[in-house]
Amino acid sequence: MGEKQLSELSKKTVDSEFFTLIPDGYKKGKVKYVVITGSVISGIGKGTVTSSIAKLLEERGLKVSPMKAEAYYNVDAGTLNPFRHGEVFVLDDGTETDMDLGSYERFIDRNLTKENYLTTGKILSEIIEKERAGKYLGRDVQFIPHVTGETKKYFRQLAVDSRADVVLIEIGGTVGDYENMYLLEAARQLRYEEGEENVCFINLTYIFEPKTLGEQKSKAAQLGIKKMIEMGLMPDIVICRSENPVHDNIREKISVFSNVPLNRVIGLHDSENFYQIPLMLKEKGLDKAIFESLKIEEKKLQNNNSLEKWTEAMTVKNPKKKITIGIAGKYTGLKDSYISIIKALEHCEAEFKVKIEVKWIEATEIETGKKKVEDVIKGVDGLIVPGGYGKRGAEGKIECVKYCREKNIPFLGICYGLQMALIEFARNVLGKEDANTIEIDSETKQPVICLLPDQKKIEGLGGNNRLGGFDIKVKENTIAFKLYGKNTIRERFRHRYECNPEFIKEFEEKGMVFSGKSPKVDIMQILELPKHKFFLGTQFHPELTSRPLKPSPCFKGLIKACL
């Protein structure tokens, strides 16, 4: 379909079965699209592969804008339980997103926006609103063309607003799921309208290797690709995930079955070093396969060894020392719940050339008496109490904070962790035995943690947090100032409750220093104990802005103290 045809279709959208919404300023062919789908099983690394592709293309001088298109009916990830879907990642603009957005940001070292994140709930909310306002002019609103049409509009709008050369669209779930069919159909239509040379389909599949058989089996992968083909989605590239290197005969089977040239069937086995994956894919020719599929002239692109240098810098071959960091939370059963914290620690590994082992501490086990705090923290060089919500595990976290403060163990409290540190200090230093947060005990006589002023009138869970990036004024001659080296910093928040201003004077009289606060409102955002080896609490989430080769100053401070 030519640009003129596309333009003509957009003019008669309402009464046309094409329903092609073209954003202002959009030009066909100016941007290329790469659509990444998954088959066989979920959780095999689509987000990592998408991030790696972004890294590969940006290394060659192309501007990339990645999008995560999720099939769930939630408008955003804000109300999702971490056990269900992993960490909620918060963008600078306040959007609560899937954790894959964090992976994108870390790999391309750039802030993303709400336009890089799409959900079924977001699409349907807009469609219902338009229908109620009569924007469809009496048409019966249908899956095709309206839902798919509105979806394609989001794809193209991201292309216009980001001014990207290549838009990456990672479709959540697996091919064959009922809920993501509209996304797959929208991608098929996008290729029909934009042309094959402008849309590349990459399918990430899985090759099983049952231990009882001792050989790799490709049948599940073949059936997953078959389902994709049945939906009109012909893959241009197939990436075969596996535990061990994919055998050539398996790649040949996939190639013959899917009509994908053998050089575009790429094996990607498990790697101990997460940061070597982009280089692994480059060495297997993934970037060249994409250029070939999208008719991008490779010789016109920049060519340097920046990826090799980046990979080497992020690889710790001979660690100088090994330390253990405890993470005391209540979602420790699913490590993805704290994925940004894990990544921030990995960034510090590269910075200090050390090996950091994580010891998971389930706070509820301390709270219920199943384990003693001195036993679980034994052997830990430093402790992190991460963010969270609700009563479960809170008392266990407070016990952990108390142990670290009294035993002079380096401590970093993040968001809820800062609040637990305030409660512990109020109880055991200020002598306020019933000190608590009103989130847990609304009747407490010593509410050292209370609602933010702007949040008191808000009801319901969706969108009621203080979200996104905010400036913080840092006090000079403090630990925080030494870590950041400047008076004003910007970090990301996700909270409803704060340190009660009525208790600040009492805290300070007993030696606590509030070294960071909001420039305009008297909200305490960083606390520290100067006489302690390292005791820092942040109301913000420093892990969300930590990047490879640019570790979070808060995490750097913790690890340096442990060393």
Distance, in Å, from the CA atom of 395 to the CA atom of 388, rounded to the nearest integer, reads 13
Catalytic one of 415, 450, 499, 562: 415
Handedness of CA 238, 244, 250, 251 (dihedral sign): positive
CA 183 to chain CA centroid, nearest Å: 20
Query: Is 541 known to be catalytic?
Result: yes
Amino acid identity at 166:
V
CA Rg value for the chain: 25
Q: In this structure, are residues 455 and 496 in contact, taking their beta carbons and an 8 Å threshold? A: yes
Nearest to 267 by CA among 252, 283, 284: 284
Distance, in Å, from the CA atom of 78 to the CA atom of 122, rounded to the nearest integer, reads 13
Alpha-helical segments (H) within 137-206: 148-162, 181-194
C-beta neighbour count of 354 within 10 angstroms: 17
What residues pair up with 238 in beta bridges, in sequence order?
Answer: 203, 265
Q: What is the b/e burial string over 20-32, where b = at least 16 CB atoms within 10 angstroms of the residue's CB?
A: bbbeeebebeebb
Collapsing DSSP to helix, strand or coil, 160 comes out as: helix
Which residues make Cβ contacts (< 8 Å) with residue 123, sequence separation at least 6? 147, 150, 151, 154, 182
Catalytic one of 58, 150, 541, 554: 541
Nearest to 328 by CA among 408, 390, 404, 439: 404
Collapsing DSSP to helix, strand or coil, 504 comes out as: helix
Catalytic one of 185, 424, 543, 554: 543
Going by their DSSP bridges, the two strands 117-119 and 64-70 should be labelled as: parallel
- Phi then psi dihedrals of residue 20, to 5 deg: -105, 105
- Phi then psi dihedrals of residue 157, to 5 deg: -65, -40
Distance, in Å, from the CA atom of 42 to the CA atom of 53, rounded to the nearest integer, reads 19
C-beta neighbour count of 309 within 10 angstroms: 11
Residues forming the active site: 415, 541, 543
